[in-house]
């Protein structure tokens, strides 16, 4: 098919994320991808500033990743995980336990980030049920958070400013407190933590866990909040007897400058969700990790097992991709590299601070954000980025970049210069 045929059939039959069938929105067919560049059907090449929604940290068509998948494909592409096991899954679970903060010791694999969050929430509820505290079935979380699009995950996304208000009448009602105003690098005052503490005092007997995105609230607003706040959340969870779930799906595997964002606060959650960059963007895979205390309590309580089991759980191809991706990451000087990208984003996006349309410019690790004073129209702004040779996918009032870790200094300059030029055209 040529590009026009492909677009016509796409518009007629294909449903894209957060879109409508036949929506009058620009769509750009990709025919190949290599390194940090996407090649479009019309021959244009775009520098990818999104890592394909934060997952393709090693770029595209990486020879090490390709070889790992080819080798695994010749053995088996898939086998059910009920009653069977295989080396890629066992090795990956072991590697994740080595990389994540102690005392996380048990790994449950799933297909996507949203499902990893569902698994975490079910773990928390089943844990308290096994301990004879079945009233603890609700969750406490921060406003402006985002945890996925399935029903349990939607219930802990922001109920007002989030994307799921349409379903508010059928979602489980959870507990919310305002997003902390103490920013990353600042101390957390008693006033900052008071709303969360008050909610735990009032409703702790009904709360199974606090669930949050550590340090960076991603899709909900790209807010970078205080590591000290996260430390105090951990203390309050211990004080009031609730679990702490850290959703590291967007932040895990080096994106913020630490392997996991919770390390900025020097804490470990009771349950952690990872995904996105886990396989280097090659295949869909996620994992929910928990402590021996949680896993053994669930396993010894009624009904004596954890009630979840995806068909494609621990897919061997996906696990092999994850092992190769983690090897690439950990065998590199990834922390200095993230700092290099951070400096490049900070310097590159700095000119946008002077624009009348811009409210804030902020950078943390390999995340760069331009916050505008008003929302932008995707229909208008998306083609502008393409015309300038880059791929960025803004939303609301936010233009943000999460480039692959292999992005060169030269490409960072091109990427940020293009973003500045587009931002300068926004009134």
Q: What is the 3-state secondary structure (H, E, C) of the chain?
A: CCHHHHHHHHHHHCCCCCCCCCCCCCCCCEEEEEECEEEECCCCEEEECCHHHHCCCCCECCHHHHHHHHHHHCCCCCCCCCCCCCHHHHHHHHHHHHHCCCCEEEEEEECCHHHHHHHHHHHHHHHHHHCCCCCCCEEEEECCCCCCCCHHHHHCCCCCCCCCHHHCCCCCCCEEECCCCCECCCCCCHHHHHHHHHHHHHHHHHEEEEEECCCEECCCCCEEECHHHHHHHHHHHHHHCCEEEEECCCCCCCCCCCCCHHHHHCCCCCEEEECHHHHCCCCCCEEEEEEHHHHHHHHHCCCCCCCCCCCCCCCHHHHHHHHHHHHHHHCCCHHHHHHHHHHHHHHHHHHHHHCCCEEEEEEECCEEEEEECCCCCHHHHHHHHHHCCEECCCECCEEEECCCCCCCHHHHHHHHHHHHHHHHCCC
Pick the CATH number of 75-330 from 3.40.640.10, 3.40.1390.20, 3.40.50.720, 3.30.450.20: 3.40.640.10
Is residue 360 annotated as a catalytic residue, yes or no? no
Known catalytic residue at 400: no
- Which sequence spans correspond to the domains of the chain? 3-61+332-424, 75-330
Distances (CA, A) of 25 to 180, 263, 378: 35, 40, 8
Note if 379 is an active site residue: no
Contacts of 409 (CB under 8 A, 6+ apart): 340, 344
Q: Which of 111, 247, 270, 411 is catalytic?
A: 247
Query: Which pLDDT belongs to residue 175?
Result: 98
Question: Which is catalytic among the residues 48, 60, 111, 146?
Answer: 146
- Which of 158, 258, 276, 400 is the catalytic position? 276
In this prediction, residue 333 carries a pLDDT of 98
* 0.85 exceeded by pTM: yes
409 catalytic, yes or no?
Answer: no
Please list the ranges in the chain whose pLDDT falls under 50.
none
∠ CA 273-345-359, nearest 5°, is 90
The predicted pLDDT at position 279 comes to: 98
How high is the pLDDT of residue 25? 81
Is the domain 3-61+332-424 a CATH 3.90.1150.10 member? yes
């Amino acid at each position: 098919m040529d590009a026009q045929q492909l677009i016509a059939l796409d518009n007629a039959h294909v449903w894209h994320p957060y879109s409508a069938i036949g929506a009058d929105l620009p769509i750009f067919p990709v025919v190949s991808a290599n390194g940090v560049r996407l090649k479009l059907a019309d021959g244009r090449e775009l520098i990818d500033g999104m890592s394909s929604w934060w997952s393709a940290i090693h770029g595209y068509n990486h020879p090490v990743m390709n070889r790992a998948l080819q080798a695994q494909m010749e053995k088996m592409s898939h086998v059910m995980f009920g009653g069977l096991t295989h080396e890629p899954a066992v090795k990956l679970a072991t590697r994740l336990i080595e990389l994540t903060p102690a005392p996380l010791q048990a790994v449950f694999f799933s297909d996507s980030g949203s499902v990893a969050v569902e698994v975490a929430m079910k773990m928390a509820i089943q844990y308290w049920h096994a301990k004879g505290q079945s009233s603890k079935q609700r969750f406490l979380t921060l406003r402006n958070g985002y945890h996925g699009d399935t029903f349990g995950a939607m219930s802990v996304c922001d109920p007002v400013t989030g994307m799921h208000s349409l379903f508010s009448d059928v979602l489980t009602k959870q507990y919310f407190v305002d997003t902390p105003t103490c920013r990353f690098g600042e101390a957390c005052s008693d006033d900052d933590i008071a709303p969360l503490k008050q909610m735990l005092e009032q409703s702790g007997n009904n709360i199974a866990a606090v669930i949050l995105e550590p340090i960076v609230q991603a899709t909900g607003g790209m807010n970078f909040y205080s590591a000290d706040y996260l430390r105090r959340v951990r203390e309050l969870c211990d004080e009031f007897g609730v679990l702490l779930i850290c959703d590291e799906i967007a932040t895990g595997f080096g994106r913020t400058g630490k392997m996991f964002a919770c390390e900025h606060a020097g804490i470990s959650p009771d349950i952690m969700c990872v995904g996105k960059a886990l396989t280097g963007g090659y295949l869909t895979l996620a994992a929910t990790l928990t402590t021996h205390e949680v896993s053994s309590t669930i396993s010894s309580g009624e009904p004596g097992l954890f009630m979840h089991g995806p068909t494609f759980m621990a897919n061997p191809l996906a696990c092999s991709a994850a092992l190769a991706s983690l090897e690439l990451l950990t065998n590199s000087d990834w922390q200095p590299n993230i700092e290099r990208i951070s400096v490049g984003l900070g310097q590159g996006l700095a000119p946008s601070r002077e624009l009348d349309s811009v409210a804030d410019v902020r950078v943390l690790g390999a995340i760069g954000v331009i916050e505008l004073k008003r929302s932008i129209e995707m229909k208008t702004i998306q083609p502008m980025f393409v015309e300038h040779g880059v791929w960025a996918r803004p939303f609301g009032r936010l233009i943000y970049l999460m480039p692959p870790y292999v992005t060169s200094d030269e490409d960072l300059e091109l990427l940020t210069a293009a973003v500045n030029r587009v931002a300068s055209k926004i009134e």
